[in-house]
Structure 1
Amino acid sequence: MTLNIWLNRTYATNYWFLQMLRSNPDNTPVRLFATHTDETSPVLQAADVTQIEPRLSGDAYVDWALTFCQQHAIDVLLPGKEMLAIAQRAAEFAAIGVHVLASPAASIALLDDKDATYASASALGVPVPPWRTAQGADAFVDAVASLRAELEADEVVCIKPLQGVGAEGFRILDDSVASLDDLLAAPAHKIRTDEVAFALERAAAAGRELPTFMVLPYMASPEISVDCLSTPFGETLAALPRAKSGRKRTFLDDEPRAVEIAHRMVDSYQLAYLTNTQLRWWRGELALLEVNTRPSGGLYAASLTGLNLPWAAVRLAMDGTYPVLEPQLGHSFVSVDTVVSLPAAVEAPVTNLNPLRTAEPLVTGRTLADVV
């Protein structure tokens, strides 16, 4: 039996996620589907069947996704785009035989809101840094002043949108005057407080909807990202803590507190399948940075531990089973870029068999890492 597995619009590094599904340890035949609004997405080049997505959102997008699943007899869907909307209608996918790899909709909604996440996690006893929220220039200036009054002189303030992906919208507030060394240094995510306030004032004057920002201390490195596999009911089956400091990445075998916090988040919110908990150091202890109710962009590195988490999640969804998971931690590695060839441009975006699948087998995600 060939499994039809679909990843809708997602980020580029899931190119390797698809490779891990194709080279699954059970040697199960898979037919991989990928859709995206950008025809140059590397993910499209790793799939067997590709299609350009329509520019829809909300229920209209979910309606399209349901039709896509029916047309292509999809067995498993890992949603990226519109994850919440899809999770809210998961019963409709189940009714047509589609297993959706997503957490409960209520948990996705809560954890997508950083303010709600911090408030809820704090109530659970999970350490979080002090924070403020602000919408608009005046509220932003007040929030920054209020937080700075609570911090030590050498502690730095940063901001990020209440909802966002990755480092989008993240800035470190630095009100010092720029020096020549600053100008000659590599680009940094720094901005002055008055520049942020001015940008918000101009946006408000132009009638634009203003985002709400989190204002919080910039927590110390190394950042620890814990990739988790769990049952549909929030039972953690694997938790792989991966520390990031500069270019170096390390799968930690000596940081049980990181695993403990990740377990607490997965269990408390009944997170399902593949999720990611991010932590940083705040005044000497690990504190929550955020929780992603999706697999992390760096999940492919988990292959260095001997685990194929994408395939384990598919098996879990399809028949409730999973392999014995005994990760080999302690590996350090760095990531390097690779080259993904693009096919000749087509005049109209249509569903097609990916021509790259007739070429030589693509390399596995392991080649992206140099063990040191």
Structure 2
Amino acid sequence: MNIWLNRTYATNYWFLQMLRSNPDGTPVRLFATHTDETSPVLQAADVTEIEPALTGDAYVDWALAFCQAHAIDVLLPGKEMLAIATRAVEFAALGVHVLASPAPSIALLDDKDATYASASALGVPVPPWRTAQGADAFVDAVASLRSELEADEVVCFKPLQGVGAEGFRVLDDSATTLDDLLAAPSHRVRTDEVAFALERAADTGRDLPTFMVLPYMASPEISVDCLSTTFGETLAALPRAKAGRKRTFLDDEPRAVEIAHRMVDSYQLAYLTNTQLRWWRGELALLEVNTRPSGGLYAASLTGLNLPWAAVTLALEGTSPVLEPQLGHSFVSVDTVVSLPAPVEHAPAHLAPSPAAEPVGAGTTLLADAV
């Protein structure tokens, strides 16, 4: 069976290992592509290739040709997921099973403003929020939101579209102290600094992103990894709490699972997705929904489930075995190293197949975590 992961997170190194050590003992040939030849994911695959610098339909055309050339059976898209899902019928014509949700759902949930508006209409709790583009609008949005908040509630912001913590900042307008300068780098920034940066960018003609301004919600963050059918039936939902270094698979937070089920069902999310929640004024509220596997999905192995393989089985056979996770485990993650092949003077477009590295153990993350 040929399974391909295109450009993806470094932690999906472990995702590939879980496919290789699948509980059915099915032989798999793992393909990985990336724009960065040092990506750890490339070291976990059997066949690797450096991706071309393409986007949109041009990238999808390349992906279709790649699938046909390598007889790919299953594609888990990371890069250009929406573009690939939009043309999923073309992949199906080649016999490729694309592990992705419907394109309209991906598009909606990739926009945090649209997500909150839609989720709120469904009755899913969301915090108050504003959107802003440009310096003046940003300052006004912050002032408007702060007028709704208590004095001790903090404002943060992030781009409407983004991955992970890219662009996330917490607003702190207090004066910088020596202790601040001596502390570890933080995500804190002053409102006037943001406005000045936006003004300068506008003066140079740059396109300005739209930001979402919202309260900084309390920990612990709860990340619910879900496996679901193509019509939005949840087969497994694993709530994983994050508080400092400690991670715990919760067995006593049914509300988190209930919200994740609601999002999966309402948007007919398919295969592997992730719903993130935080606490807002005493109740769980939606943070965001990822229509892709979370970077920490590998930790699900501690519950006794191999979700990557369950997703592949679901795609190929239309059914999944009964999944009974063992929740309650707590864990921490540690760094490890992944050996890279010796450099060559002229790297070819197609890298030589590389033997899969042995996993160090469950609950391990990589030194590199970029996509």
TM-score bucket (shorter structure): over 0.9
Are 2:91 and 2:98, in contact at CA under 8 Å, matched by a contact in 1? Answer: yes
Deviations along 1:26-71, whole A, 9 cap, x unmatched? 0000000000000000000000000000000000000000000000
Q: What 5-or-longer segments of structure 2 have no aligned partner?
A: 366-371
Distance 1:30 1:160 in 2: 39
- TM-superposed CA distance for 1:354, in Å, is 2.6
1:203-242 alignment runs, 5 A limit: 203-242=201-240
1:287-366 alignment runs, 5 A limit: 287-346=285-344, 347-357=346-356, 362-363=358-359, 365-366=361-362
Are 2:55 and 2:80, in contact at CA under 8 Å, matched by a contact in 1? Answer: yes
- TM-superposed CA distance for 1:351, in Å, is 2.5
Distance 1:87 1:56 in 2: 17
- TM-superposed CA distance for 1:353, in Å, is 4.0
Are 2:336 and 2:360, in contact at CA under 8 Å, matched by a contact in 1? Answer: no
Deviations along 1:114-158, whole A, 9 cap, x unmatched? 000000000000000000000000000000000000100000000
**Structure 2 CA distance for partners of 1:264 and 1:4, relative to 1, 3 Å:** same
The amino acid of 1:255's aligned partner reads: E
Secondary structure at the aligned position of 1:366 is classed as coil
Secondary structure at the aligned position of 1:32 is classed as strand
* Aligned counterpart for 2:178 among listed residues 177, 180, 203: 180
1:2-13 alignment runs, 5 A limit: 3-13=1-11
Distance 2:225 2:363 in 1: 20
Are 2:332 and 2:363, in contact at CA under 8 Å, matched by a contact in 1? Answer: no
**Structure 2 CA distance for partners of 1:18 and 1:251, relative to 1, 3 Å:** same
More displaced 10-residue stretch of structure 1: 271-280 or 346-355: 346-355
Runs of 4+ deviating beyond 4 Å:
none
Partner of 2:75: 77
Distance 1:340 1:30 in 2: 21
Secondary structure at the aligned position of 1:289 is classed as strand
Distance 2:324 2:363 in 1: 22
Aligned positions, number: 364
- TM-superposed CA distance for 1:185, in Å, is 1.5
- TM-superposed CA distance for 1:344, in Å, is 1.4
Distance 2:341 2:363 in 1: 23
Partner of 2:199: 201
Partner of 2:369: none
* Aligned counterpart for 1:99 among listed residues 73, 97, 100: 97
Secondary structure at the aligned position of 1:281 is classed as strand
- TM-superposed CA distance for 1:86, in Å, is 0.1
- TM-superposed CA distance for 1:341, in Å, is 0.2
- TM-score, with length taken from structure 2: 0.97
**Structure 2 CA distance for partners of 1:54 and 1:159, relative to 1, 3 Å:** same
Distance 1:52 1:247 in 2: 34
Distance 2:100 2:202 in 1: 36
1:61-210 alignment runs, 5 A limit: 61-210=59-208
- TM-superposed CA distance for 1:183, in Å, is 1.4
The amino acid of 1:368's aligned partner reads: T
Deviations along 1:85-127, whole A, 9 cap, x unmatched? 0000000000000000000000000000000000000000000
Distance 2:170 2:351 in 1: 44
The amino acid of 1:17's aligned partner reads: F
The amino acid of 2:73's aligned partner reads: D
What percent of counterpart residues are identical? 87
The amino acid of 2:55's aligned partner reads: S
Distance 1:337 1:23 in 2: 22
Are 2:298 and 2:363, in contact at CA under 8 Å, matched by a contact in 1? Answer: no
More displaced 10-residue stretch of structure 1: 348-357 or 289-298: 348-357
The amino acid of 2:339's aligned partner reads: S
Distance 2:354 2:24 in 1: 25
- TM-superposed CA distance for 1:175, in Å, is 0.2
- TM-superposed CA distance for 1:181, in Å, is 1.5
Deviations along 1:140-190, whole A, 9 cap, x unmatched? 000000000010000000000000000000000000011121112221100
- TM-superposed CA distance for 1:323, in Å, is 1.8
Distance 2:139 2:324 in 1: 49
Are 2:44 and 2:354, in contact at CA under 8 Å, matched by a contact in 1? Answer: no
The amino acid of 1:265's aligned partner reads: M
1:10-89 alignment runs, 5 A limit: 10-89=8-87
Partner of 2:368: none
Q: What 5-or-longer segments of structure 1 have no aligned partner?
A: none
